[in-house]
Every structure is written in structure tokens, then in C-alpha cells.
Amino acid sequence: MKNRTAFAYFPLWRTAWRRVRQRPFQYILLILGIALGVAMVVAIDLSNGSAQRALDISAEAITGKATYRVSGGRGGSLDQQVYLDIRKQGYDLSAPVIEGHVLAPKLGNRVMRLMGIDPFAEPPFRPDLWRQQDLEAVSNFIVRPNGVILSRDVATEYHLALGDSFALQVEGAPTTVTLVGLITPVDAITSQRLRDLILTDIATAQELFHMPGKLSHIDLIIKDQTVAAQIKQGLPSGVRLEAAAAQNNTMKQMMTGFTVNLTAMSLIALLVGTFLIYNTVTFNVVQRRRLFGVLRCIGVTREQLFWLIMTETFVAALLGSGLGLLFGVWLGGGLIGLVTQSINDLYFVVNVREVAVSSESLLKGLAIGIFAALLAALPPAVEAMRSTPASTLRRSALEGKVTTLVPWLWAAGLGVGGFGAVMLCWPGRNLVFGFIGLCAVLIAFALITAPVARFVMLRLAPALGRLFGPLGWMAPRDIVRSLSRTSVAIAALMTAVSVIVGVSLMVGSFRQTFATWLGQTLQTDIYASAPSLTSTRPSGNLPADAARILNEWPGVREAITSRYAAVFAPEWGREVDLTAVSGDISDGKRPYRWIGGDQRTLWKRFLAGEGVMLSEPLVSRQNLRTPPGPITLMTESGPRTFPVLAIYSDYTSDQGVVLMDQATYRSHWQDRDVTTMALLLKPGVSVDGLLDQLHAKFAGRKDIVIQSSRSLREAALATFDRSFAVTGALRLVATTIAFIGVLGALMSLALERVHELGVFRAIGMSRRQLWRLVCLEAGLMGGMAGSMALPAGFVLAWILIHIINVRSFGWTMEMQFEFGYFGQAFLVAVVAALAAGVYPAWRSARLSIASAIREE
């Protein structure tokens, strides 16, 4: 009898199918819970993958066949003489490139990458972009002023023909260009690479970007390392040779913390869904214990019962995961805009127009959904397999086991929580360990749900009995009596609401810290800059005439200028953002994490060129000790070492910033450009009045943006809110999953207690009393979940603020206690539970007494 075939399971499967037809609502809830959890994971994964794919496609269009790139120089641009010297040395496989971003109103008002090239040096580097007729078109833009080339697909989409002119905004200034050539993509990949690309010749690009005699970089095709070493040796100081893919890899690394956080948050939603799966499978097992007992008595083996339950779960997981994939693709289409906007706000410009549905993401979502479901189904399947036929016929046997397990659940909760604490305290900046620890802490709170619920409900019963009479006694005792089911539903709702509390506290604390920091740092009255396509750092230069006018304007007490540049740090092997300033825009109110020497003389020493300051994220990202030692930066005259005077708080960039006085910067880089200017007004001068004067003076000019510091702070907070908009979707999905879990729990209890409820009705309980009983049970479950979610959410927020955010972004912040978040979260738990209890209460109240008593 041990050799069982698949045919032996057919009667069991027919029994399972009859169960599905009798209780479709339960299985629908199970499938929905799996689907929502999988959908969140897939949507986030597709959004992240689409953004990275867009970045790869854009980088491939620029990099092409190049193996190396020469970059660096003053202000991040190369003297074109470097290219001429390389050509003179006989390295013919080299091509000059100028690139930057422009706004194209005619092309859907989207940001495009404008690339200046030498058409004669170009073909070996990007052969997929060219055909013979395209090369003939390229030669036309050499003799046509402001001539550009577009993809034929883009030109067709926006109804542009050869010879048509259209406007571009380059660093805010409107410029008219003429379409002089079209490139026909050779395949779909090439078409995607060209969608965001505008080509022009080197001279036109230099004029548009105000880079006379300058290049962005030089592409090289070098296969011999000896040749690469020779070229590197001949480069001037401050210019470097690096792998062509280095910049793209750096940009991907910049996104790592952001994308890992989103992925981890989606997995938390799946964790809530796992509770729902466990809950539903457990209910199905519990409600069929009598049937399982009968089956065992007539010869069904333990193994057959186990595989029956696991097969049922697998089929439901397959259906739920498949539905989740469809919903995830749809949800990803909505999230991609939020994710892309956050990347543009925080890091760099990337265009993502559609979700790139990859088989890898879909298979990952399918595998995660099925694995989570089977893992959640394993404990109830094992319990059913191990139960004796006699015990399966007694409902009290299971609840007796749960009561026996209560002390062990305390121990398990403490053990898992301790493991989570170890993971969280693990040295280094490993995000994976951090999120493992966070999930372990959430699971620890879930494990102690049953003991806490039992303790609280038994002590609430007398008080509720005095308030509500017999119903008050019955409701909490019913929850305890069915603890094997109710505790899991409470745990699912508690986990979801704790996520709401934790994420809300984290976002609120971060926002308050950010707003306070803005108020401390931006003490100037008026702020002027060139227009920028990103929200974090202006990308253009302030026009020289505008800077002079602003500096000399009546009513201005002091004009503080800033220059933003990217410089290479040899010790770290990457470029870092550098800000050179002529004064302190915070007027001495800037917060610091560490200061070397007397704080009162810090800025005096800084402006005297005695050293630099580092932002806190830079120190964290590079794992620098405190106090940090001197840092080395590559200047135009070679590497130079700068002492560090202080570490300051900064929330504008998670990549880190080096702050340097302007005089020192100009002495090492010979760069006199200005990126921004902050104005301090004389006493008694109206900010709004002077702002109106400046707007009138620069009316019609698109190359300068002038705004009050108040407007700048408001714009920065708006950017912050956009960056965290995606967490709203997480909270909504987690709450929805938990709502389904409570609804399923109450429905299952109502179905299981049909006979009991029929007896209550037979001995005089009215429909209204029955309605009140079910709703009171739902309210108690919601209140229990909400009460446990408050401390769990607080712990989650503390972990997110003090561990996850520090490891991800290097930002430290103070936790802000907004008691409104706790009240809202508790209300969400109770309302969700009561809403989930409406249908079971309505259905229970409509029971026919005779049919209910005959149920058994």
C-alpha cells in the first residue's frame, strides 16, 4: 500500500473541488491575497528594472563600441586640444563628444539628450546608428547652422520633416534648430536608443552649451592595454582615462539604495500577504478536521492528506500569482512615473515611457508567490498530517494545542526578535542584513500576537460583560476559543498597520528634519540660478551679466556665489560633487555633525583656505572615520590633499558633497563660472519688492531663475513629497491585504459556527444581537491589532530612521513623535476590521434557525 499512484488521489481531489464549490468566497480571498502581494513585488521590480533598462539604453547610445573614455578637466569639461594631441599621436580610433540635456517642447515637452559628434570620426563607435544614406545626411549638418538629426521614428511621431525648425531650451534659453537629417533605426533596440537622442555637430553643440573649445569626453577604442597605458601617461594633469562603462556603473550604484528600499518595502507587503495565506489555509484545514478524521478512519494516509493540502495551496498560489502578475504589470505602469520622477529629483535625468516587462521579473514574482504560499501552508499541512484520527474529530484538540503553545510562542518571538537585533547591529552598511533584521522584528511581533491577545481578551471579558451584558462576555471569549484562527488574522492586520505607523513616522520625521534643515541652511533672502532639469543640483551656469547685475543691485547687502562641479577623488576611484562657495548662506546656523577646532572660527578658517568640509552622506558612503583625515582631489595641476575642517548635515544628495571655499577652488581649477547666487538684503529692504524689480529687469529671459528662499524651500519640500509618494501605494496594498485577511477570518468563523449561532437564535438571541456579537468580535480584533501595531510601528520607524536610512543614504534624522499617526493607524485597524465584519454579520443575522441547527 505504500506505492501510491496519482490515481489514488483523484477521490481526494474531487473532495477538494467540492469544497471549492461550496466555499468559493474563501478561495477567492486566498487568491486575492496572494495576487496583491505578488503584484506589489512585480510592480516595484518592473519599475526599477524599467528605469535601469532606460539608463542602459541611453548609455549604450552614447558609449557604443568605445572601450575607454577620456574625461575630467576644468569644470568637468576637456580642452579640445587633448583630442587633437591624441590624434596627432596616431590613435585614429578616437572621437570627440559633447553631451547634455535639453528640453524639447515640440517633442512632447520631454527631456532629450543632445549629443555633439564629429561625423568623420563617428562611424566606428556607433555603427548600429548609421547607414550609408544616414552618413550622407550627417554631412549636411556641418554646413547648416544649428542643424540636428533625429530618429525617423521620432520625427514621424511628432510630424517633423526635413527642413522643419523647432525650439529647444538649452540651460533655460530658447534656441531654434533645424532638422537636416533622419536616421533610420536598423532594429527595435536601435529605435529605443534613438528615441531620446538629438545629434548635432561638435561646433553647434559647443555653441549651444556655451563650451567654446571644450569637450564633454573623448571616446576611444583600445584593445591593447599597453596602448591604454601610453595614452594615460600622455594626458595632462586633471584628465583621466577610464573604462567607457564606468559612468553608467556609477549611475547604477547611485540608484542602488533607492531601488533596494523599494524592493524591500514591496516584500513587506508580501509578508502581510503570507499571513493571509497561512490564515486561509489554516482555516481550510481546521474546518475540514472532521472530514480529515473520517478520511483517516477509512484508510487515507497521512502523506495523502499532506499532499492534498499542499496541492490545493499550489493551485491557488498559481492562480493568485498569475493574477498578481497581470495586476503587477498594470500597477507598474502607474508606479513608473513616481519612480522615474524620484530618480530625476534625486540623481539624474532618465526617461522611462513604458514598463519594460521582462520575463525575469515575471518569473521572480511567480516563484516568490508560490514559494510564500507553500511555506505558509506547510505548518497547517504538517499539523493535519500528524493529527490522529481521534483528535481530528475533536475541535478542542487543536485549540488545546494552541493553548499549550502560548509559552513557546513567547519564547519564539523573543528568539526571532533577538536574531533580528543581531542582524540590525551587524557592522557595516549591508542593506540586506538590515532588511532581514527588520522582517525578523515584524515576525517576532506577529509570533507574540496569540499570547498577548489571549491575555488581553480574558481580562477584557469581565469589563465588557458589565458594559454590554452577555454579548460582552461572549465576544472576547469567542476570540480566545478560536485563537488558532483569530490570532493569525490579528497578526496580519497588526503587521499591515505597523507598516503604516512605521513608514508614516519615518516619512514624517524625515520631512520635519528636512524642513528644519532647510530653514537653518537657507538664511538668504533671494536665490538665483540657471534653469535645471533636475531638482537637486542646478546643471547650468548663471549668465555672467546676470551675476554682475545681481551683485551690484541696490538693496543687496551681500551676494554669495556657489559653483557646482564634479571632481575626481583618486582614493575613492570616483567623481564626487564639489560645491565652491564665497560665503555661508546659513549665516552661521548650519547644523554640523563634527567640527575640528573652535566652531566660532570655523568659517573664518574655511574661507581662508585652511581646509574643506564634507557632507555627512559622503562620510557614510566612503566609510570615513570621525574625525576624518585629509582627502585627495584631482586638480588641474594634479592630485592635491585638503584637510577636513568639519562634517555638516546635508539632505540634498545621498552621494555626498565636498564644500570648498571659492578662492581655493579657483586657484586649483581656474574655473570662474558661477552656478548659483544667494542674495542677503540690507535691513528694511522688502524681499517681495526687490524680487518684483529683478523679475522686471530680467523679464523675457529664460536663462535665469530668480526666486525667494521661501519659494525655494517650498519647491524642495514638494520634491521631497514626490520622492516618498510611492510609499503610499505600499501602505494601501498592505492595508488591503490585511482587510482581506480579517474578512476571511470572520467569514470562516461565521461558517464554522453556523450550528452554534443557530442554537443562539433558537434560545432567543435576536438578529440584531447576533449582528452586534459578530461586529463586537470584529471590533475587538481590530482594536487588538491596532494596539499591538502601535509599539510595533514605533520599533519599525526607529529601525527605518536609525539603521536603514543611514545605511541607504547616509542621512541621520531625529524621530518626530506625531501622535496623530498613532491615532490614525489605530482607527484604520478598527475601521478595517469593522468593515470586514459587516458581511459576515449580515450573513449570520440572516441564518434560518432550522437550517442552521441541521448544519451538523
* Separation between Cα atoms, residue 653 and residue 540, nearest integer Å: 18
Lowest model confidence (mean pLDDT) among 84-98, 122-136, 715-729? 122-136
**Does position 509 have pLDDT exceeding 80, yes or no?**
yes
pLDDT, tens only, 736-750: 766 666 666 666 666
At residue 452, the pLDDT reads 92
Contact, 608 vs 592, CB < 8 A? Answer: no
- Residue 415's pLDDT band (boundaries 50, 70, 90)? very high
pLDDT at residue number 254: 54
Question: Which of 6-20, 783-797, 829-843 has the highest average model confidence (pLDDT)?
Answer: 783-797
Neighbours of 820 (CB within 10 A): 10
* Average pLDDT for the chain: 79
Say which residue the cell 476590521 belongs to.
833
Most confident option among 43-47, 211-215, 389-393, 510-514:
211-215
What 8-state DSSP symbol labels residue 601? G
Q: What is the dihedral of CA 809, 811, 813, 815, to 10 degrees?
A: 20
Look at residue 375 in the predicted model and tell me its pLDDT: 81
Q: What is the pLDDT of residue 353?
A: 57
pLDDT for residue 605 = 93
Show the CA angle centred on residue 272, arms to residues 271 and 277, nearest 5°.
Answer: 90
Return the number of other C-beta atoms located less than 10 Å from residue 764's C-beta: 7
How many of the other CB atoms lie within 10 Å of CB of 506? 24
Closest CA to 844 of 762, 768, 783: 768
Rounded CA-CA distance 216/601 in Å is: 39
Q: How far is CA 187 from CA 153, 193, 670, in A?
A: 11, 10, 45
Peptide bond into 379 cis (omega under 30): no
- Split at pLDDT 50, 70, 90, the class of 2 is very low
**What distance in Å separates the CA atoms of residue 41 and residue 257, rounded to the nearest whole number?**
17
- Euclidean distance between the first and final Cα of the chain, in Å? 33
Percent of the chain exceeding pLDDT 90 equals 10
Q: Do 127 and 135 contact (CB within 8 A), yes or no?
A: no
Q: Are 237 and 635 in contact (CB under 8 A)?
A: yes
CA angle 228/230/231 to nearest 5° reads: 65
Please give the residue that has the higher pLDDT: either 780 or 275.
780
CA-closest candidate to residue 735, choices 46, 36, 41, 44: 36
Any idea which of 61-70, 171-180, 468-477, 803-812 has the lowest mean pLDDT?
Answer: 61-70
The rounded distance, in Å, linking the Cα atoms of 716 and 710 is 10
- Residue 286 reports pLDDT greater than 90: no
Residue 231 to residue 234: CA distance in whole angstroms: 5
Amino acid 389: pLDDT: 63
Q: What Cα–Cα distance (Å) separates residue 661 from each residue in 571, 587, 639, 735?
A: 21, 15, 18, 50
Given a contact cutoff of 8 angstroms between Cβ atoms, the answer to whether 855 and 754 are in contact is yes
Between 834 and 4, whose confidence is greater? Answer: 834
**The pLDDT value given to residue 855:** 46
- Determine the average pLDDT of the residues in 574-579: 87
Query: 252: burial class by Cβ within 10 Å (0-12, 13-18, 19+)?
Result: middle
User: What is the Cα–Cα distance from 401 to 380, expressed in whole angstroms?
Assistant: 12
Q: How far apart are CA 715 and CA 711, in angstroms?
A: 6
What is the C-alpha separation between 774 and 835, in angstroms, rounded? 11
User: CA 827 → CA 234, 491, 499, 821, distances in Å?
Assistant: 69, 16, 14, 10
More confident: 96 or 836: 96
Burial letters for 470-481: b for 16+ Cβ neighbours within 10 Å, e otherwise?
A: ebbbbbbbbbbb
Report the C-alpha gap between 813 and 830 in whole angstroms.
Answer: 31
CA angle 590, 596, 601 (to 5 degrees): 65
CA distances from 627 to 527, 605, 614 (A): 33, 17, 11
Please list, in sequence order, all residues whose beta carbon lies within 8 angstroms of the beta carbon of residue 396, skipping any fewer than 6 positions away.
none
Determine the Cα–Cα distance for residues 300 and 302; give it in Å rounded to an integer.
Answer: 7
Section 345-363 average pLDDT: 65
pLDDT band at 129 (very low <50, low <70, confident <90, very high): low
CB 268 within 8 A of CB 730: yes
Look at residue 738 in the predicted model and tell me its pLDDT.
62
pLDDT digits (tens, 9 = 90+) for 81-125: 888 888 888 888 888 989 888 888 888 888 888 888 888 787 787
Question: Is 702 within 8 Å of 169 (Cβ atoms)?
Answer: yes
Give the separation between CA 554 and CA 549, rounded to whole angstroms. 10
Cell of 461: 471579558
Beta bridge mates, 634: 639
DSSP assignment letter at 210 = T
- Nearest alpha-carbon partner for 214 in 71, 349, 111: 71
- Give residue 474's identity as a one-letter amino acid code: M
What local confidence, expressed as pLDDT, does residue 604 receive? 92
Residue with cell 574625525: 627
For residue 693, count CB atoms less than 10 angstroms from its CB and return exposed for 0-12, middle for 13-18, buried for 19 or more: middle
CA 827 to chain centre: 27
Give mean pLDDT, residues 624-629. 88
CA-CA distance, 739 to 742, in Å (whole number)? Answer: 5
State the cell numbers at 133: 544614406
> Is the whole-model pTM more than 0.75?
no
Calpha distance 142→856 (Å, rounded): 90
User: Which residue bears the cell 547604477?
Assistant: 252
Question: Residue 18: CA atoms inside 13 Å, Cβ hemisphere, count?
Answer: 8
Domain ranges of the chain: 1-61+250-393, 65-243, 460-523+710-856, 531-703
Would you call 34 helix, strand, or coil by DSSP? Answer: helix
Residue 610: the pLDDT is 93
Whether the CB-CB separation of 662 and 581 falls below 8 Å is answered with yes
Phi/psi region, residue 530 (left: phi>0; alpha: psi -120 to 50; beta: rest), is beta
Sheet holding 574-581, edge to edge: 592-595, 644-648, 612-615, 657-661, 574-581, 556-569, 676-681, 526-529, 705-708
pLDDT (average), residues 396-423: 79
Could you give the residue ranges of the DSSP H alpha helices within 111-224? 132-143, 152-157, 188-194, 202-208
- One-letter amino acid for residue 318 of the chain: L
Inform me whether the pLDDT recorded for 267 exceeds 70.
no
